[in-house]
Amino acid sequence: MQIKQEFKDLIPPLTKEEFKQLENNCMSEGIREKILTWNGFIIDGHNRYEIATRWDLDFETESKHFDNEEAVKEWMILNQFGRRNLSNYQRSVLALELEDVFSKKAKENQGKRNDIKQISAESKPIETRKELSKVASVSHDTIAKVKKIQEKAPEEVKAKLRTGEVSINAAYKEIKKEEKKAEKENERDRLAEIGKNKKIEIDFRLGDFEEVFKDIPDGSIDCIITDPPYPKEFIEVWSKLSRFAKRVLKPNGYCVAYSGQMYLPEVMKRMCENLDYYWTFAVYHEGQTQIVNGINLMCRWKPVLIFQNGKKKIENTFQDYFISEQREKNGHDWQQSKSGVAYLIEMFTKKGDTILEPFAGSGTTMIVAKAKGRNVIGAEIDEKTFNIAKALI
């Protein structure tokens, strides 16, 4: 009697507790069910055979007839559905094995089945999956998700699915998340390649803004509108921005900066070293938001800090709250919406003014500023992001 690994792999493994219970039953009551074979290979009773061999227990065998291995696999899978208390994941995995069997069977034109309608997986994959979902007693959606999991998930995730440590939905969402991330990176690579040799009309410079803007005359910029990085590791850029803004802004010129909230007190302190605090705006984000893990909050709004180079009452009156529509992230993970930037540009500048963006990212501020009839100067320190911005501009 032989063990064929391909057959054994079709049997969802028992947990340690389940195997121990089966072993105790066999030890106390003997092996009552026959071990079934085909051409000398075990097709039902792998665990009982292992226990019998370990403890030298008697058992009976029965040889079954099938035309080929595909027919054996089909029988084994259907037999598992009827005999074992399987999880939805295990049932779906078995169903997908059955799909492969039916697909091969259809391609080889081996005749019609009576218990399940045979449909070519190439011509009507959705209908095939629906039929399999009925056999496995799971939803069509579950079959589709598990198919994606089997194709994409690492083995450690599959192991957790088998034990119930991870749910089908959680594993599927993680795969879709990684796929979207890969698609996004591919699109950014494509844009960066386009932007590499692209000539643009805007004064846009690659490098650290303090370095590349050394030639900007003192007191020559009407407004800085920017979105510096928020993590703690970048906190020093706020001091640099404060010093730089003090030098290049015209008297009473504004420095408008998006900010995170985690380190807001430190940001305020650094900005106030050289500039006058004017006000804080609230920008509300439509669409998906992110969980701030450090404090376990869903962040629905963001502060936009308004500083001035010498405080003076603004000429026009407007509200300190605005809505930002769903943000595109095709250029940068921290990319802001065009509508939010447009609001700030209209409130703090007028046509013909010069706006400077020291943390240009994928170029949103520069794109909107140009569309609004403003002059704009930008800098970006990361070369790939710089080229992406050039492509988008």
* pLDDT tens, residue by residue, 222-271: 999 999 999 999 999 999 999 999 999 999 999 999 999 999 999 999 99
Lowest mean pLDDT of 6-15, 33-42, 307-316, name the range: 6-15
pLDDT at 388: 96
Crossing angle for the helix pair 140-152 and 88-107, to the nearest 10 degrees = 80
Lowest mean pLDDT of 90-99, 258-267, 344-353, name the range: 90-99
β-bridge mates for residue 357, sequence order = 378
pLDDT, tens digit, 9 for 90 and up, residues 111-151:
454 555 444 444 444 467 777 888 888 998 999 999 999 99
- Report if pTM > 0.75: no
Name the residue with tokens 């026009």: 316
Residue 15: pLDDT band (50, 70, 90) is confident
**Cα–chain center distance at 156:** 18
Which is it for the CA torsion 257, 258, 262, 264, positive or negative? positive
* Structure-block tokens of residue 338: 């065009």
Q: In sequence order, what DSSP letters do the residues of 342-386 get, joined into one string?
A: HHHHHHH--TT-EEEESS-TTSHHHHHHHHTT-EEEEEES-HHHH
- Nearby residues of 17 by Cβ (< 8 Å), 6 or more positions away: none
- The identity of residue 15, as a single letter, is T
Residue 104: pLDDT band (50, 70, 90) is low
pLDDT at 332 > cutoff 50: no
Question: Mean pLDDT, to the nearest integer, of 294-306?
Answer: 87
Report the alpha-carbon distance of residue 314 to residue 176 in Å, rounded.
Answer: 47
Domains of the chain, each with CATH number or no CATH: 5-177 (no CATH), 200-392 (3.40.50.150)
- The residue among 90, 82, 107 whose CA lies nearest residue 164 is 90
